[in-house]
Amino acid sequence: MKNIVIIYILFLSLVSSLYAQPTTNTGFAHPLQIEPVALYTKIRGNIGYWHKDFNGVKEINKDINVEGEYKFSDSFSVISSVGRTDYSQTDTAREITWDRWNAGIKYGKVYENGSSQFLIGAGLRLYDKKRNAEFRERENPDFYLVRPNFGLGYKYGIFQIMSEFRFQTETNRHGKESSLQEFKRYYQVGIAPSFSIADSVRIFTELEYREPIDRVADKNLRYFNFYPGISMNTDNFGTFSFSLLLGILPKEDNAMDRGIRFSYFYFFDTNQ
């Protein structure tokens, strides 16, 4: 795994140095998997699927959701989403639930430096309890979720990279654990390099790593995934994209094996 990461970093350095060229586009392209710290005014629809098959137990997760974001100033936006998840596991009943109601606020600032751009951003997202859902090892539907994040971005010519560092914790109305109720917590790091290969086509090579705070009790939250993907922008009908999910860790240590996501974006800002 270490060799894969080293080769990946060397590849990004080589391609960015060979193909970078000045550009007049002032917007950061939207990643396909990681949470972007750049600001947008957008509507996004996703259809996703992943599965895990290990030791005779197979998990299948299908989801569909719509996300909206509104950039109400140069530096701030608000965001929310609604969705539906279909989850099944060997020897358990199939579960179809609505996703948690959520709302968030984001801050982002772009700094110009000649022909390149630097981005810094942060946000906070709050999630309600998950209604009419059963307890699973991956989450407790009776708790709220708090998710702050922070990230950086860089853009030069056809090359762009965006990163995100996230922390998430469960919580209750009192914000305190009891001896019988422990909150699941994790941190997550994502990186989303991308390259424009045509005026309307962009290639993504995203990586995302999640590590639970309690690696024993919450081992099913851990993963290290690679997401190759492509997006195609149209003049009048928005942006279409798809990306694959490929687990990097051994199967026993990765929360999911394989997956795919189809997305549609409509940006109301003309410079996105």
Q: Domains in the chain: how many in total?
A: 1
pLDDT number for residue 271: 52
pLDDT number for residue 26: 52
Q: Is residue 240 situated within a structural domain? A: yes
The string of pLDDT tens digits covering residues 25-57 is 458 999 999 999 999 999 999 999 999 999 889
Which CATH number do you get for residue 249? 2.40.160.40
Q: Is residue 30 situated within a structural domain? A: yes
Domain that holds residue 229: 2-267
Please tell me the distance from the alpha carbon of residue 148 to that of residue 106, in angstroms, as a whole number. Answer: 10
Q: Is residue 39 situated within a structural domain? A: yes
* Amino acid identity, position 61: N
Q: Is residue 272 situated within a structural domain? A: no
pLDDT number for residue 5: 45
The neighbour count for residue 164, using CB atoms within 10 Å, is 23
Mean pLDDT confidence for 158-174? 96
Mean pLDDT confidence for 166-192? 91
CA-based R_g, the chain, Å: 19
The CA distances from residue 241 to 45, 77, 220, 244, 263, in Å, are 10, 23, 28, 11, 5
Taking the CA atoms of 90, 207, 123 and 214 in sequence, report the sign of the dihedral they define. positive
Q: Is residue 220 situated within a structural domain? A: yes
pLDDT number for residue 174: 86
% of the chain exceeding 90 in pLDDT: 72
Closest by CA to 104, choosing from 118, 122, 123, is: 123
Two structure tokens written together for 215: 């690696």
The string of pLDDT tens digits covering residues 204-262 is 999 999 999 998 888 889 999 999 999 999 988 999 999 999 999 999 999 999 999 99
* pLDDT, averaged across the chain: 89
pLDDT number for residue 13: 45
Q: Is residue 139 situated within a structural domain? A: yes
pLDDT number for residue 11: 46
User: Does the pLDDT at position 270 exceed 70?
Assistant: no
pLDDT number for residue 137: 63
The CA distances from residue 244 to 118, 230, 264, in Å, are 28, 10, 15
Q: Is residue 11 situated within a structural domain? A: yes
